[in-house]
Amino acid sequence: MTKKVRVRFAPSPTGGLHLGGVRTVLYNYLFAKHHGGDFVLRIEDTDQTRYVAGAEQYIYDCLSWCGLEPDESPLKGGPHAPYRQSERKAMYYQYAKQLVDAGYAYYAFDTPEELEAMRANLKTEANPTPQYDGKIRMQMRNSLALGMEEAQHLIDAGTPYVVRIKMPQNEQVVFTDMIRGEVHFDTNLVDDKVLLKADGMPTYHLAVVVDDYLMQITHAFRGEEWLPSAPVHILLWQYLGWGKAMPQWAHLPLILKPDGHGKLSKRDGERLGFPVFAMNWKDPKTDEETQGFRERGFLPEAFINILAMLGWNDGTEQEIFSKEELIAKFDIGRVHKGGAKFDYEKAKWYNHQYIQRKTDAELLPLVKPYIAAHGITTDDAYLEKVITLIKERCTLLPDFWEQGHFFFTTPEIKEPAAITDKWNEQKKAFFESWADGLDGITNWTHEAIETSFNEAMAAHGLKKGDVLLPLRFMLVGGKYGPGVFQIAEMVGKYEARKRIVNAISSI
Ligand code: GLU
């Protein structure tokens, strides 16, 4: 029987979630659902110095906004609880001890000053950041250099220590990545990473291996930046005797700056004016706020579609995929090795497509807060009609206000010159008499308003080219918006007349 697929997203809650992080969530989720498996959220918070208030809650909120709910998590619980590593602290020591007893790891007592001195002494131009590794470990204060007996005395005397892996020398570590194929590492280039810290907390390297094992993870997808850690993890799996149970890995490609040069950073978003985080994130230490896709007015369905396509396609030209379709078609083997360029214009194109595909009734609750933010309470039936008229012009949710504010408030005419430049007595007379006659339109529909407009226009010897644009400015405040007669119908006879009369008297 094949094992049930189990994947995990294992973030360290240290700040906002970059879109690359959400894409990692998404690929994990799609893979799990495609195979009828479980998607686990594990919070990797063993580095207490990096604790950031609110960061864990932010992760839950992002996942729920995206509709990528985990099957097991610190909030939801599950058969392998707890899912927060700090709460699993007591579990890790025995594995560190097992590794030391088997000779694969050792106790190290070096103080921060001693480590600093080692780096300063060994630093050369060719080796600017000397590592604690096989070449120098016997010159340091650890149980290999001092002997186990002395090490035990030091431990008994309460000397702080860490546990380090003893990286083998002159070995090749090889594994097959689901995206990259065979990857080789030279163990001489890898340092003796700390596995257990002086405070008894595991480091990421030990915790990730122990928890992937205990939680029966079958596939682990993570960012490319974790590839250099893979040899340490592979050796730990072997040294702990779990080699056969090791998950299959896929290291996901980077998301690149729009010009393709380097990893897309939060700063790039600020520089180029687009969000890089899933949702707004306010750093509690600096109060610095980073914009998110949600607050920019992206729909979560569009957001996950955009992310899915950053590094993957189904082999056809299809670009729009619902979550269900993504689940059905996602194939980790089709994820590209190379980085994926982020294109904000294309991201907006997706959102525009998703807005068009939603019904007006579906858009109503999404648009309402953007209108309410301007102090307007509107009746749902009216707002739904507005949505029908303007949705084609809207790319992001705040556009519904930008493109539709004049349905709710009397606009200010932004460029009066557009009317005044070609204004004359003939036009004035036409608008005055037509405005006066509006009262007489008993059936206030856009067809009836247009007919009355055309008749008055002909009677005054004017053409559409003379009066249609001024009418738009009077009703809308600018040169945009849906059909003017539809706008007049919507705002009502009284308001339409008021806007025209006020505009005339201001010219
Ligand atoms: N805790 C790591 C992170 O913050 C997880 C890497 C992994 O998935 O192995 O990204």
For tokens 């580095």, name the residue: 47
6-73+254-344 has which fold?
Rossmann fold (3.40.50)
Torsion angle of C-alpha atoms 487, 488, 489, 490, degrees rounded to 10: 50
How does the average pLDDT of the chain come out, rounded?
96
* Strand locations in 260-305 (E): 281-282, 289-290
- Of all protein residues, the one whose alpha carbon is nearest to atom 3 of ligand 1 is 11
Distance CA 106, CA 99 (A): 8
| Residue range 104-119: mean pLDDT, rounded | 97
Res. 443: pLDDT tops 70 = yes
Work out the angle between the directed axes of helices 19-34 and 300-308 (0-180°, nearest 10).
80
Structure tokens at 240: 């702990």
Residue 420: predicted pLDDT: 83
| Phi then psi dihedrals of residue 161, to 5 deg | -145, 160
Q: Does residue 222 line the site of ligand 1, with CB under 6 A? A: yes
Angle of helix 360-372 versus helix 380-390 axis, rounded to 10: 110
Beta carbons within 8 Å of 468's beta carbon, 6+ residues apart: 484
Per-residue pLDDT band for 19 (boundaries 50, 70, 90) equals: very high
Structurally, at CATH architecture level, domain 417-506 sits in Orthogonal Bundle (1.10)
How does pLDDT run across 284-324, given as a tens digit for each residue?
999 999 999 999 999 999 999 999 999 999 999 999 999 99
* Model pLDDT, residue 48: 86
CA–centroid distance, 72 to ligand 1, in Å, is: 17
Dist CA 197 CA 108 (whole Å): 10
Mutating to test ligand 1, I would choose from 226, 251, 263 the residue with most ligand atoms within 8 A of its C-beta, which is 226
Identify the three-state secondary structure at position 289: strand
Atom of ligand 1 nearest to the CA of 21: 10
Judge if the beta carbon of residue 204 lies within 6 A of ligand 1.
Answer: yes
What the block records as the tokens of 407 is: 């349905």
Catalytic residues: 266
Say yes or no to pLDDT of 377 above 70. Answer: yes
pTM over 0.75, yes/no = yes
pLDDT tens, 134-182? 999 999 999 999 999 999 999 999 999 999 999 999 999 999 999 999 9
Among the four given CATH numbers 1.20.120.520, 3.30.1280.10, 3.90.800.10, 3.30.470.10, the one describing domain 85-252: 3.90.800.10
Is any atom of ligand 1 closer than 6 Å to the C-beta of 12? yes
Residue 86 has pLDDT above 90, yes or no: yes
